[in-house]
Amino acid sequence: MTPSQAATPRPLVYGHRGARADEPENTLRSFRHAHRVGAEGVELDVRVSRDGHLVVIHDATVDRTTDGTGEVAALFLAELRELDAGGGERIPTLGEALDAFPGLVQVEIKAPEAVAALAESDRRDPLPPRVVLTSFHAEILDHAARLLPRVERGLITAHPTEELPARAAEVKATWVCPELRPELTVGLVERCHAQGLRVDAWPAADPERLARCVALGADAVTTDHPALIDDWLRAV
């Protein structure tokens, strides 16, 4: 361990879709497991059912993660509830997911129509301050900034470039979530920090990649393996 690494604070740990390596992704069981093993946060995905409910599922269809078929947007919540999302788990609503996990929650907006649904839900029952709305798409975050200005936002990117701080500023983001690529450098992380942005690097998929995230000065990491992060950190 180098002196600079020794001085680096432990990053926050976000469980990717809960504890995806151990439990069915984006399910209440996965979120609860992530909490039990010490993750400070979880990342989850939201879409909208045919009847306007915010549901937690990654893909546009239910085919990969459930025993059903069809597009999420074409199915009523009651129909989605009938599907097995793994080990008897059901597709949860966003409200259920927030109740199941008491820590930080990154809500990745997978469908543009979810922004209006989130705003309507927030009017009825305000989203807690621990929620950050995230997206790969600047136009979605811009829409969220207009409809939900008090809720923090995070810009996700698989292609971190020198323009990342400026792009985040355009959508008034407080987080950036860059993929761990060679372009993600200490200098870029420092520029993000200088602008007041927090950095969540992903994926912390093994000890080596976690060590890179720590060396870069990332504030947080997102991982499929929240149960292993502390053991991996001891080896950094």
Active site residues: 16, 58
Tokens of 109: 């907006």
CA separation for the pair 145, 12 (Å, rounded): 24
Beta bridge partners of 15: 42, 223
CA separation for the pair 138, 111 (Å, rounded): 13
Tokens of 47: 């879409």
CA angle (122 as vertex; 200, 91 as ends), nearest 5? 70
Judge whether 106 and 132 are in contact, CB under 8 Å: yes
User: E strands of the chain, at which residues?
Assistant: 12-16, 41-48, 54-56, 104-109, 131-135, 152-157, 175-178, 198-201, 220-223
Helix axes 114-124, 138-147, angle to 10 degrees: 20
CA separation for the pair 111, 3 (Å, rounded): 44
